[in-house]
A = this chain, B = another copy of it.
Amino acid sequence: MSGLLRLTIVLLLLAGARPGWADPPPLSEESATCVACHETFQPGLVTDWQRSRHASTTPAAGLAKPVLQRRISATAVPAAQRDVAVGCYECHGALPDAGADRFEHFGTVIHTVVTPRDCAGCHPTEVTEYDGSKKAHAVGNLDQNPVYHGLVNTVLAPQTLRDGALQSTPPSAATRAATCFACHGTTVEVTGKRTVPHELGDFELPVLSGWPNQGVGRINPDGSRGSCSSCHARHRFDLAVARSPETCSECHLEPDTPAWEVYRESKHGNLWFVNQASQVRDAVPWRPGPDFQYPTCATCHNSLLVGPDDTVLAPRSHDFGARLWVRLFGLPYAHPQPRSGATHTIRNAAGQPLPTTLDNQPASEHLIDAATAASRQATMTKVCSACHSSTWSQGHFAKLDQTIAETNQLTLAATQLLQLGYARGRADPTNLFDESIERAWVRQWMFYANSTRYGAAMCGQDYSTFKNGWFQLGSNLLAMQDWLRDGKAKAEE
Protein backbone atom coordinates (compact mmCIF):
# COMPACT_ATOMS: atom_id res chain seq x y z
CA MET A 1 0.00 0.00 0.00
CA SER A 2 2.91 2.32 0.60
CA GLY A 3 3.97 1.50 -2.94
CA LEU A 4 0.50 2.51 -4.00
CA LEU A 5 0.74 5.74 -2.07
CA ARG A 6 4.07 6.50 -3.64
CA LEU A 7 2.62 5.72 -7.03
CA THR A 8 -0.37 7.93 -6.34
CA ILE A 9 1.88 10.80 -5.36
CA VAL A 10 3.86 10.36 -8.55
CA LEU A 11 0.66 10.31 -10.54
CA LEU A 12 -0.65 13.38 -8.79
CA LEU A 13 2.61 15.14 -9.50
CA LEU A 14 2.31 14.11 -13.11
CA ALA A 15 -1.28 15.21 -13.13
CA GLY A 16 -0.17 18.39 -11.36
CA ALA A 17 1.46 19.87 -14.41
CA ARG A 18 -2.02 19.95 -15.80
CA PRO A 19 -3.85 23.13 -14.86
CA GLY A 20 -7.01 22.78 -12.88
CA TRP A 21 -5.87 20.43 -10.18
CA ALA A 22 -4.40 22.85 -7.68
CA ASP A 23 -6.33 25.64 -5.97
CA PRO A 24 -6.70 28.40 -8.51
CA PRO A 25 -5.07 31.74 -7.73
CA PRO A 26 -7.11 34.83 -6.89
CA LEU A 27 -8.66 36.90 -9.65
CA SER A 28 -8.30 40.62 -9.91
CA GLU A 29 -11.40 42.44 -8.78
CA GLU A 30 -12.15 43.42 -12.38
CA SER A 31 -11.83 39.90 -13.70
CA ALA A 32 -13.99 38.52 -10.93
CA THR A 33 -16.68 40.94 -11.98
CA CYS A 34 -16.42 39.86 -15.60
CA VAL A 35 -16.71 36.20 -14.69
CA ALA A 36 -19.68 36.79 -12.41
CA CYS A 37 -21.82 37.86 -15.37
CA HIS A 38 -20.21 36.13 -18.31
CA GLU A 39 -20.28 32.66 -16.78
CA THR A 40 -24.02 32.94 -17.19
CA PHE A 41 -24.03 34.59 -20.61
CA GLN A 42 -21.04 32.85 -22.20
CA PRO A 43 -20.60 29.62 -20.24
CA GLY A 44 -18.56 27.95 -22.98
CA LEU A 45 -16.09 30.79 -23.20
CA VAL A 46 -15.70 31.13 -19.44
CA THR A 47 -15.20 27.41 -18.87
CA ASP A 48 -12.63 27.39 -21.61
CA TRP A 49 -10.66 30.05 -19.77
CA GLN A 50 -11.19 28.38 -16.39
CA ARG A 51 -9.44 25.29 -17.72
CA SER A 52 -6.50 27.33 -18.96
CA ARG A 53 -3.09 27.76 -17.43
CA HIS A 54 -3.86 31.46 -17.37
CA ALA A 55 -6.62 30.74 -14.85
CA SER A 56 -4.59 28.41 -12.71
CA THR A 57 -1.33 30.23 -12.22
CA THR A 58 0.07 33.73 -11.85
CA PRO A 59 2.82 35.65 -13.61
CA ALA A 60 4.76 35.56 -10.36
CA ALA A 61 4.66 31.76 -10.35
CA GLY A 62 5.78 31.74 -13.97
CA LEU A 63 8.70 34.05 -13.23
CA ALA A 64 9.83 31.77 -10.41
CA LYS A 65 10.46 28.84 -12.75
CA PRO A 66 13.89 27.87 -14.06
CA VAL A 67 14.55 29.60 -17.37
CA LEU A 68 14.15 26.50 -19.54
CA GLN A 69 10.74 25.82 -18.07
CA ARG A 70 9.42 29.37 -18.36
CA ARG A 71 6.43 30.14 -20.53
CA ILE A 72 6.81 33.82 -19.76
CA SER A 73 9.58 35.87 -21.32
CA ALA A 74 9.11 39.09 -19.37
CA THR A 75 11.62 39.51 -16.57
CA ALA A 76 9.16 41.58 -14.57
CA VAL A 77 5.41 42.04 -14.59
CA PRO A 78 3.55 45.07 -13.20
CA ALA A 79 2.48 44.65 -9.62
CA ALA A 80 -1.23 44.73 -10.43
CA GLN A 81 -0.94 41.64 -12.59
CA ARG A 82 1.82 39.78 -10.82
CA ASP A 83 -0.06 37.81 -8.21
CA VAL A 84 -3.44 37.27 -9.78
CA ALA A 85 -4.60 34.84 -12.41
CA VAL A 86 -4.36 36.04 -15.99
CA GLY A 87 -8.06 36.79 -16.23
CA CYS A 88 -10.45 38.63 -18.52
CA TYR A 89 -9.37 42.09 -17.42
CA GLU A 90 -5.66 41.39 -17.53
CA CYS A 91 -5.86 40.87 -21.30
CA HIS A 92 -8.94 42.86 -22.29
CA GLY A 93 -8.23 45.84 -20.06
CA ALA A 94 -4.72 46.06 -18.72
CA LEU A 95 -3.68 48.52 -21.42
CA PRO A 96 -6.87 50.58 -21.52
CA ASP A 97 -5.43 53.42 -23.55
CA ALA A 98 -3.98 51.26 -26.29
CA GLY A 99 -6.64 50.71 -28.92
CA ALA A 100 -9.40 52.70 -30.51
CA ASP A 101 -11.78 49.89 -29.68
CA ARG A 102 -11.76 50.56 -25.94
CA PHE A 103 -15.09 51.26 -24.33
CA GLU A 104 -16.63 51.54 -20.93
CA HIS A 105 -18.51 48.45 -19.85
CA PHE A 106 -20.33 48.43 -16.54
CA GLY A 107 -17.76 50.73 -14.97
CA THR A 108 -14.59 49.30 -16.47
CA VAL A 109 -12.77 50.35 -19.63
CA ILE A 110 -11.97 47.35 -21.78
CA HIS A 111 -11.32 46.50 -25.41
CA THR A 112 -12.63 43.70 -27.56
CA VAL A 113 -9.60 42.93 -29.65
CA VAL A 114 -6.72 41.46 -27.66
CA THR A 115 -3.53 42.15 -29.59
CA PRO A 116 0.14 41.20 -29.45
CA ARG A 117 0.66 44.46 -27.62
CA ASP A 118 -1.52 43.12 -24.81
CA CYS A 119 0.24 39.77 -24.77
CA ALA A 120 3.65 41.46 -24.73
CA GLY A 121 3.12 42.37 -21.10
CA CYS A 122 4.18 38.82 -20.20
CA HIS A 123 5.46 37.46 -23.54
CA PRO A 124 7.59 40.24 -25.07
CA THR A 125 10.20 38.00 -26.71
CA GLU A 126 7.58 36.04 -28.59
CA VAL A 127 5.88 39.19 -29.75
CA THR A 128 9.12 40.70 -30.99
CA GLU A 129 10.10 37.54 -32.86
CA TYR A 130 6.71 37.31 -34.41
CA ASP A 131 6.62 40.96 -35.41
CA GLY A 132 9.56 40.48 -37.75
CA SER A 133 8.15 37.39 -39.42
CA LYS A 134 6.34 36.94 -42.73
CA LYS A 135 3.21 36.03 -40.79
CA ALA A 136 3.11 39.42 -39.07
CA HIS A 137 3.31 41.12 -42.48
CA ALA A 138 0.77 38.86 -44.15
CA VAL A 139 -1.65 41.71 -44.91
CA GLY A 140 0.88 44.06 -46.47
CA ASN A 141 2.55 41.20 -48.32
CA LEU A 142 -0.68 40.81 -50.27
CA ASP A 143 -2.09 44.31 -50.37
CA GLN A 144 1.09 46.32 -50.79
CA ASN A 145 2.62 43.98 -53.36
CA PRO A 146 1.17 45.07 -56.72
CA VAL A 147 1.41 41.57 -58.22
CA TYR A 148 -0.41 39.90 -55.35
CA HIS A 149 -2.81 42.76 -55.03
CA GLY A 150 -3.66 42.10 -58.68
CA LEU A 151 -4.16 38.41 -58.01
CA VAL A 152 -6.47 39.10 -55.07
CA ASN A 153 -8.44 41.73 -56.91
CA THR A 154 -8.88 39.60 -60.00
CA VAL A 155 -9.77 36.36 -58.23
CA LEU A 156 -12.24 37.90 -55.79
CA ALA A 157 -13.96 40.23 -58.22
CA PRO A 158 -17.71 39.66 -58.57
CA GLN A 159 -18.54 39.24 -62.23
CA THR A 160 -21.64 39.95 -64.25
CA LEU A 161 -22.45 39.31 -67.87
CA ARG A 162 -22.94 42.40 -70.03
CA ASP A 163 -23.44 42.04 -73.78
CA GLY A 164 -22.10 38.51 -73.67
CA ALA A 165 -18.89 39.44 -71.86
CA LEU A 166 -17.87 39.18 -68.23
CA GLN A 167 -17.39 42.41 -66.37
CA SER A 168 -15.80 42.78 -62.97
CA THR A 169 -16.37 45.03 -60.01
CA PRO A 170 -13.92 45.39 -57.11
CA PRO A 171 -14.04 42.75 -54.37
CA SER A 172 -16.16 43.45 -51.31
CA ALA A 173 -14.61 43.79 -47.87
CA ALA A 174 -16.75 40.86 -46.71
CA THR A 175 -15.42 38.55 -49.41
CA ARG A 176 -11.86 39.64 -48.81
CA ALA A 177 -12.39 38.82 -45.13
CA ALA A 178 -13.99 35.43 -45.86
CA THR A 179 -11.18 34.32 -48.20
CA CYS A 180 -7.54 35.49 -48.48
CA PHE A 181 -7.66 37.73 -45.44
CA ALA A 182 -9.30 35.13 -43.21
CA CYS A 183 -5.79 33.65 -42.98
CA HIS A 184 -3.70 36.72 -43.81
CA GLY A 185 -5.67 38.99 -41.48
CA THR A 186 -8.08 41.85 -41.85
CA THR A 187 -7.72 45.44 -40.80
CA VAL A 188 -9.89 45.88 -37.72
CA GLU A 189 -11.16 49.40 -37.23
CA VAL A 190 -13.83 51.06 -35.13
CA THR A 191 -16.50 52.36 -37.46
CA GLY A 192 -19.09 53.49 -34.94
CA LYS A 193 -21.01 52.51 -31.86
CA ARG A 194 -24.14 50.53 -31.25
CA THR A 195 -26.41 50.11 -28.28
CA VAL A 196 -27.14 46.63 -27.03
CA PRO A 197 -30.39 46.23 -25.12
CA HIS A 198 -29.84 44.03 -22.10
CA GLU A 199 -31.73 42.85 -19.06
CA LEU A 200 -28.98 44.29 -16.85
CA GLY A 201 -29.19 47.65 -18.57
CA ASP A 202 -28.49 48.74 -22.13
CA PHE A 203 -24.86 49.25 -23.01
CA GLU A 204 -22.79 50.52 -25.89
CA LEU A 205 -20.30 48.54 -27.93
CA PRO A 206 -17.94 49.66 -30.64
CA VAL A 207 -18.78 48.52 -34.18
CA LEU A 208 -15.74 46.90 -35.72
CA SER A 209 -14.91 46.44 -39.39
CA GLY A 210 -13.04 43.29 -40.37
CA TRP A 211 -14.32 41.48 -37.29
CA PRO A 212 -14.30 38.67 -36.31
CA ASN A 213 -10.90 37.66 -37.62
CA GLN A 214 -7.84 35.80 -36.33
CA GLY A 215 -5.64 36.08 -39.38
CA VAL A 216 -1.94 35.88 -38.68
CA GLY A 217 -1.18 39.40 -39.86
CA ARG A 218 -4.29 41.16 -38.60
CA ILE A 219 -3.93 44.94 -38.32
CA ASN A 220 -5.38 45.76 -34.92
CA PRO A 221 -7.11 48.89 -33.67
CA ASP A 222 -3.97 49.66 -31.64
CA GLY A 223 -1.84 49.49 -34.78
CA SER A 224 -0.12 46.24 -33.89
CA ARG A 225 0.14 43.32 -36.32
CA GLY A 226 -1.00 39.78 -35.70
CA SER A 227 -3.39 37.75 -33.62
CA CYS A 228 -1.87 35.39 -31.06
CA SER A 229 -5.18 33.53 -31.04
CA SER A 230 -4.52 32.39 -34.61
CA CYS A 231 -2.69 29.50 -32.97
CA HIS A 232 -3.25 29.94 -29.24
CA ALA A 233 -6.98 29.51 -29.57
CA ARG A 234 -9.39 30.42 -27.91
CA HIS A 235 -9.68 31.24 -24.20
CA ARG A 236 -7.68 28.21 -23.04
CA PHE A 237 -4.56 29.31 -24.96
CA ASP A 238 -3.49 25.71 -24.64
CA LEU A 239 0.04 24.89 -25.69
CA ALA A 240 -1.29 21.47 -26.66
CA VAL A 241 -3.49 23.17 -29.23
CA ALA A 242 -0.73 25.39 -30.61
CA ARG A 243 1.49 22.36 -31.00
CA SER A 244 -1.15 20.17 -32.64
CA PRO A 245 -1.11 19.95 -36.41
CA GLU A 246 -4.83 20.68 -36.64
CA THR A 247 -4.07 24.26 -35.68
CA CYS A 248 -1.70 24.88 -38.57
CA SER A 249 -4.20 23.15 -40.81
CA GLU A 250 -6.63 26.04 -40.60
CA CYS A 251 -4.60 27.77 -43.29
CA HIS A 252 -1.90 25.45 -44.62
CA LEU A 253 -4.12 23.38 -46.87
CA GLU A 254 -4.24 22.22 -50.44
CA PRO A 255 -4.21 23.17 -53.20
CA ASP A 256 -1.88 26.09 -52.56
CA THR A 257 -0.11 25.08 -49.33
CA PRO A 258 -0.90 21.41 -48.58
CA ALA A 259 1.18 21.19 -45.43
CA TRP A 260 -1.62 19.56 -43.46
CA GLU A 261 -2.45 16.94 -46.05
CA VAL A 262 1.20 16.12 -46.65
CA TYR A 263 1.95 15.84 -42.93
CA ARG A 264 -1.14 13.73 -42.35
CA GLU A 265 -0.13 11.21 -45.00
CA SER A 266 3.54 11.15 -43.95
CA LYS A 267 4.99 8.67 -41.51
CA HIS A 268 5.39 11.53 -39.05
CA GLY A 269 1.68 12.21 -39.25
CA ASN A 270 0.76 8.55 -39.25
CA LEU A 271 2.62 7.93 -36.03
CA TRP A 272 1.43 11.13 -34.39
CA PHE A 273 -2.23 10.52 -35.06
CA VAL A 274 -2.16 6.89 -33.98
CA ASN A 275 -0.22 7.66 -30.80
CA GLN A 276 -1.29 11.15 -29.88
CA ALA A 277 -2.94 10.08 -26.63
CA SER A 278 0.46 9.05 -25.28
CA GLN A 279 2.36 12.11 -26.46
CA VAL A 280 2.89 14.92 -23.92
CA ARG A 281 1.95 18.00 -25.84
CA ASP A 282 2.27 20.84 -23.33
CA ALA A 283 5.60 20.36 -21.59
CA VAL A 284 8.12 23.23 -21.51
CA PRO A 285 10.77 22.55 -22.54
CA TRP A 286 9.68 19.83 -24.95
CA ARG A 287 11.87 16.74 -24.81
CA PRO A 288 12.03 14.26 -27.71
CA GLY A 289 12.04 10.90 -26.03
CA PRO A 290 10.46 11.40 -22.62
CA ASP A 291 7.73 13.77 -23.81
CA PHE A 292 7.13 12.70 -27.36
CA GLN A 293 8.46 10.35 -29.99
CA TYR A 294 6.66 11.68 -33.05
CA PRO A 295 6.82 15.25 -34.29
CA THR A 296 4.15 17.79 -35.12
CA CYS A 297 4.55 20.98 -37.16
CA ALA A 298 5.68 22.88 -34.06
CA THR A 299 8.36 20.32 -33.22
CA CYS A 300 10.30 20.96 -36.38
CA HIS A 301 9.37 24.57 -37.00
CA ASN A 302 9.36 26.50 -33.75
CA SER A 303 9.24 24.78 -30.34
CA LEU A 304 12.06 24.80 -27.82
CA LEU A 305 13.48 21.27 -27.98
CA VAL A 306 15.79 20.01 -25.30
CA GLY A 307 17.81 16.80 -25.22
CA PRO A 308 19.26 14.83 -22.34
CA ASP A 309 21.26 16.97 -19.89
CA ASP A 310 19.26 20.00 -20.94
CA THR A 311 21.14 20.46 -24.21
CA VAL A 312 19.12 22.82 -26.36
CA LEU A 313 18.57 21.11 -29.71
CA ALA A 314 16.65 24.05 -31.12
CA PRO A 315 15.61 27.29 -29.47
CA ARG A 316 12.00 28.45 -29.48
CA SER A 317 11.11 31.00 -32.11
CA HIS A 318 7.89 32.72 -33.02
CA ASP A 319 9.32 33.61 -36.40
CA PHE A 320 8.12 30.44 -38.07
CA GLY A 321 10.65 30.80 -40.85
CA ALA A 322 13.58 30.90 -38.43
CA ARG A 323 14.62 27.31 -39.14
CA LEU A 324 13.90 27.45 -42.87
CA TRP A 325 16.50 28.16 -45.51
CA VAL A 326 14.37 27.85 -48.63
CA ARG A 327 10.91 29.18 -49.30
CA LEU A 328 8.87 26.49 -50.99
CA PHE A 329 5.54 28.12 -51.65
CA GLY A 330 3.64 31.25 -52.43
CA LEU A 331 5.82 32.41 -55.31
CA PRO A 332 6.45 31.09 -58.81
CA TYR A 333 9.89 29.78 -57.88
CA ALA A 334 11.26 28.32 -54.68
CA HIS A 335 14.05 30.58 -53.48
CA PRO A 336 16.17 31.38 -50.42
CA GLN A 337 14.13 32.76 -47.53
CA PRO A 338 13.69 36.53 -47.57
CA ARG A 339 15.70 38.58 -45.08
CA SER A 340 12.69 40.58 -43.92
CA GLY A 341 9.18 39.41 -43.18
CA ALA A 342 7.91 42.41 -45.13
CA THR A 343 8.36 40.74 -48.49
CA HIS A 344 6.43 43.39 -50.35
CA THR A 345 9.51 45.61 -50.12
CA ILE A 346 11.54 43.22 -52.30
CA ARG A 347 12.40 44.32 -55.82
CA ASN A 348 13.92 41.93 -58.36
CA ALA A 349 16.14 42.76 -61.32
CA ALA A 350 13.04 43.51 -63.40
CA GLY A 351 11.77 45.92 -60.76
CA GLN A 352 8.94 43.61 -59.75
CA PRO A 353 8.06 43.06 -56.08
CA LEU A 354 9.02 39.39 -56.33
CA PRO A 355 12.00 37.47 -54.89
CA THR A 356 12.92 36.19 -58.35
CA THR A 357 12.33 37.45 -61.85
CA LEU A 358 9.81 35.57 -63.94
CA ASP A 359 12.70 33.61 -65.43
CA ASN A 360 13.98 32.75 -61.93
CA GLN A 361 16.84 35.15 -61.30
CA PRO A 362 16.88 35.65 -57.53
CA ALA A 363 16.81 39.11 -55.95
CA SER A 364 19.72 38.02 -53.82
CA GLU A 365 20.25 41.20 -51.87
CA HIS A 366 16.80 40.65 -50.33
CA LEU A 367 17.33 36.97 -49.60
CA ILE A 368 19.38 35.17 -46.98
CA ASP A 369 22.93 34.26 -47.95
CA ALA A 370 24.43 30.80 -48.17
CA ALA A 371 25.97 30.94 -44.71
CA THR A 372 22.65 31.79 -43.09
CA ALA A 373 20.96 29.06 -45.08
CA ALA A 374 23.56 26.53 -43.98
CA SER A 375 23.17 27.56 -40.36
CA ARG A 376 19.40 27.13 -40.51
CA GLN A 377 19.71 23.75 -42.17
CA ALA A 378 22.11 22.74 -39.41
CA THR A 379 19.51 23.67 -36.79
CA MET A 380 16.84 21.68 -38.59
CA THR A 381 19.21 18.72 -38.89
CA LYS A 382 19.64 18.82 -35.12
CA VAL A 383 15.89 18.47 -34.78
CA CYS A 384 15.97 15.49 -37.14
CA SER A 385 18.83 13.99 -35.17
CA ALA A 386 16.59 13.34 -32.19
CA CYS A 387 15.33 10.35 -34.15
CA HIS A 388 17.34 10.05 -37.36
CA SER A 389 20.95 9.48 -38.31
CA SER A 390 22.86 11.99 -40.42
CA THR A 391 22.77 9.51 -43.33
CA TRP A 392 19.02 9.76 -43.21
CA SER A 393 18.80 13.55 -43.03
CA GLN A 394 21.37 14.10 -45.73
CA GLY A 395 19.59 11.72 -48.08
CA HIS A 396 16.32 13.45 -47.39
CA PHE A 397 17.60 16.95 -48.02
CA ALA A 398 19.37 15.86 -51.21
CA LYS A 399 16.03 14.62 -52.57
CA LEU A 400 14.41 17.93 -51.65
CA ASP A 401 17.13 19.97 -53.38
CA GLN A 402 16.54 18.07 -56.59
CA THR A 403 12.78 18.53 -56.33
CA ILE A 404 13.25 22.26 -55.91
CA ALA A 405 15.45 22.48 -58.98
CA GLU A 406 13.10 20.43 -61.15
CA THR A 407 9.86 22.09 -60.07
CA ASN A 408 11.45 25.47 -60.73
CA GLN A 409 12.34 24.19 -64.18
CA LEU A 410 8.73 23.13 -64.81
CA THR A 411 7.48 26.53 -63.71
CA LEU A 412 9.96 28.16 -66.05
CA ALA A 413 8.64 26.07 -68.96
CA ALA A 414 5.08 27.16 -68.16
CA THR A 415 6.16 30.77 -67.89
CA GLN A 416 7.90 30.60 -71.24
CA LEU A 417 4.83 29.09 -72.88
CA LEU A 418 2.74 31.94 -71.49
CA GLN A 419 5.27 34.53 -72.63
CA LEU A 420 5.31 33.02 -76.13
CA GLY A 421 1.55 33.34 -76.08
CA TYR A 422 1.85 36.98 -75.15
CA ALA A 423 4.40 37.51 -77.92
CA ARG A 424 2.11 35.87 -80.46
CA GLY A 425 -0.92 37.87 -79.38
CA ARG A 426 -2.73 34.85 -78.01
CA ALA A 427 -3.06 36.45 -74.59
CA ASP A 428 -2.87 39.91 -73.08
CA PRO A 429 -0.17 40.61 -70.46
CA THR A 430 -1.96 43.62 -68.97
CA ASN A 431 -3.45 41.62 -66.12
CA LEU A 432 -1.53 38.44 -65.26
CA PHE A 433 -4.56 36.65 -63.88
CA ASP A 434 -7.67 37.33 -65.96
CA GLU A 435 -7.41 34.80 -68.80
CA SER A 436 -7.79 31.05 -68.80
CA ILE A 437 -4.22 30.46 -69.88
CA GLU A 438 -3.00 32.67 -67.05
CA ARG A 439 -5.02 30.64 -64.58
CA ALA A 440 -3.24 27.55 -65.93
CA TRP A 441 0.08 29.27 -65.30
CA VAL A 442 -0.98 30.12 -61.73
CA ARG A 443 -2.01 26.51 -61.14
CA GLN A 444 1.40 25.38 -62.38
CA TRP A 445 3.30 27.12 -59.60
CA MET A 446 0.74 27.85 -56.90
CA PHE A 447 -0.86 24.43 -56.87
CA TYR A 448 1.30 21.84 -58.62
CA ALA A 449 4.87 23.00 -58.00
CA ASN A 450 4.02 23.91 -54.40
CA SER A 451 2.38 20.56 -53.76
CA THR A 452 5.24 18.63 -55.30
CA ARG A 453 7.73 20.47 -53.11
CA TYR A 454 5.68 20.03 -49.93
CA GLY A 455 5.41 16.34 -50.69
CA ALA A 456 9.16 16.06 -51.05
CA ALA A 457 9.93 18.21 -48.02
CA MET A 458 7.70 16.32 -45.61
CA CYS A 459 7.40 12.87 -47.20
CA GLY A 460 3.89 13.02 -48.57
CA GLN A 461 4.53 11.33 -51.87
CA ASP A 462 0.93 11.43 -53.03
CA TYR A 463 1.20 15.21 -53.34
CA SER A 464 4.38 14.84 -55.37
CA THR A 465 2.88 12.32 -57.74
CA PHE A 466 -0.80 12.14 -58.62
CA LYS A 467 -2.41 14.68 -56.28
CA ASN A 468 -1.38 18.04 -57.75
CA GLY A 469 2.11 16.66 -58.32
CA TRP A 470 4.19 15.56 -61.28
CA PHE A 471 1.19 14.16 -63.14
CA GLN A 472 -0.54 17.55 -63.05
CA LEU A 473 2.66 19.53 -63.67
CA GLY A 474 3.16 17.58 -66.88
CA SER A 475 -0.47 17.51 -67.99
CA ASN A 476 -0.71 21.25 -67.49
CA LEU A 477 2.38 21.84 -69.62
CA LEU A 478 0.93 19.63 -72.37
CA ALA A 479 -2.30 21.62 -72.27
CA MET A 480 -0.47 24.93 -72.37
CA GLN A 481 1.54 23.68 -75.33
CA ASP A 482 -1.68 22.62 -77.08
CA TRP A 483 -3.03 26.12 -76.54
CA LEU A 484 0.10 27.74 -77.91
CA ARG A 485 0.39 25.39 -80.87
CA ASP A 486 -3.09 25.57 -82.32
CA GLY A 487 -4.98 28.10 -80.28
CA LYS A 488 -7.79 25.64 -80.13
CA ALA A 489 -7.44 23.49 -77.10
CA LYS A 490 -7.10 25.44 -73.93
CA ALA A 491 -5.01 24.88 -70.87
CA GLU A 492 -6.48 22.78 -68.16
CA GLU A 493 -5.79 20.80 -65.06
A48 close to B (CB within 8 Å): yes
- A sample of 12 inter-chain contacts (CB < 8 A) reads A4-B4, A5-B15, A44-B387, A159-B413, A161-B417, A166-B481, A174-B399, A174-B401, A234-B387, A253-B467, A436-B478, A446-B466
A14 and B3 contact, CB distance less than 8 A: no
**A153 nearest CB across to chain B (Å):** 11
Query: In the complex the two chains form, what is the Cα distance from A57 to B160 in whole Å?
Result: 61
Across the two chains, which residue of chain B brings its CB closest to A479? B436
A308 close to B (CB within 8 Å): yes
A47 and B293 contact, CB distance less than 8 A: yes
- Which residues does chain B contribute within 8 Å of A69, judged by CB atoms? none
Query: In the complex the two chains form, what is the Cα distance from A233 to B6 in whole Å?
Result: 23
A396-B212, A409-B160, A489-B436 as given contacts; A307 in contact with B253, CB under 8 Å? no
- Which residues does chain B contribute within 8 Å of A48, judged by CB atoms? 293, 387
**A87 nearest CB across to chain B (Å):** 17
Other contacts beyond A43-B307, A436-B482, A446-B466: 7, CB < 8 A: A4-B7, A4-B14, A44-B288, A45-B387, A47-B288, A159-B474, A178-B456
A391-B205, A455-B178 as given contacts; A40 in contact with B308, CB under 8 Å? yes
1/0 per position for A448-487, CB-CB distance to B under 8 A?
A: 0000000110010110111101110011011101111101
A265 interface neighbour in B249, B391, B417, Cβ under 8 Å = B249
Stretch at the interface among A132-140, A267-275, A337-345, A363-371: A267-275
Q: List residues of A (161-204) whose CB comes within 8 Å of B's CBs.
A: 161, 164-166, 172, 174-175, 177-180, 182-183, 196
Query: In the complex the two chains form, what is the Cα distance from A154 to B413 in whole Å?
Result: 16
A182 and B461 contact, CB distance less than 8 A: yes
A240 close to B (CB within 8 Å): yes
A43 interface neighbour in B161, B386, B481, Cβ under 8 Å = B386
Report the interface size class on chain A: 35 or more
B233 and A246 contact, CB distance less than 8 A: no
B44 and A166 contact, CB distance less than 8 A: no
1/0 per position for A322-341, CB-CB distance to B under 8 A?
A: 00000000000000000000
Query: In the complex the two chains form, what is the Cα distance from A255 to B156 in whole Å?
Result: 20
Shortest Cβ-Cβ A-B pairs, 5 listed: A43-B289, A489-B490, A174-B402, A182-B461, A44-B288
A28 close to B (CB within 8 Å): no
A278 close to B (CB within 8 Å): yes
B474 and A155 contact, CB distance less than 8 A: yes
A30 close to B (CB within 8 Å): no
A120 close to B (CB within 8 Å): no
Across the two chains, which residue of chain B brings its CB closest to A416? B161
A422 close to B (CB within 8 Å): no
A246 interface neighbour in B206, B250, B269, B447, Cβ under 8 Å = B269
- Which residues does chain B contribute within 8 Å of A46, judged by CB atoms? 289
B2 and A47 contact, CB distance less than 8 A: no
Query: In the complex the two chains form, what is the Cα distance from A234 to B288 in whole Å?
Result: 15
A148 close to B (CB within 8 Å): no
Q: List residues of A (1-43) whose CB comes within 8 Å of B's CBs.
A: 1-8, 10-12, 14-16, 18, 20-21, 39-43
A391 interface neighbour in B211, B246, B249, Cβ under 8 Å = B211
A158 close to B (CB within 8 Å): yes
- Which residues does chain B contribute within 8 Å of A462, judged by CB atoms? 251, 253-254
A317 close to B (CB within 8 Å): no
- Which residues does chain B contribute within 8 Å of A406, judged by CB atoms? 158, 172, 175
A410 close to B (CB within 8 Å): yes
A179 and B465 contact, CB distance less than 8 A: yes
Q: List residues of A (108-162) whose CB comes within 8 Å of B's CBs.
A: 112, 154-161
Across the two chains, which residue of chain B brings its CB closest to A278? B2
A399 interface neighbour in B160, B177, B277, B475, Cβ under 8 Å = B177
A83 close to B (CB within 8 Å): no
- Which residues does chain B contribute within 8 Å of A401, judged by CB atoms? 174
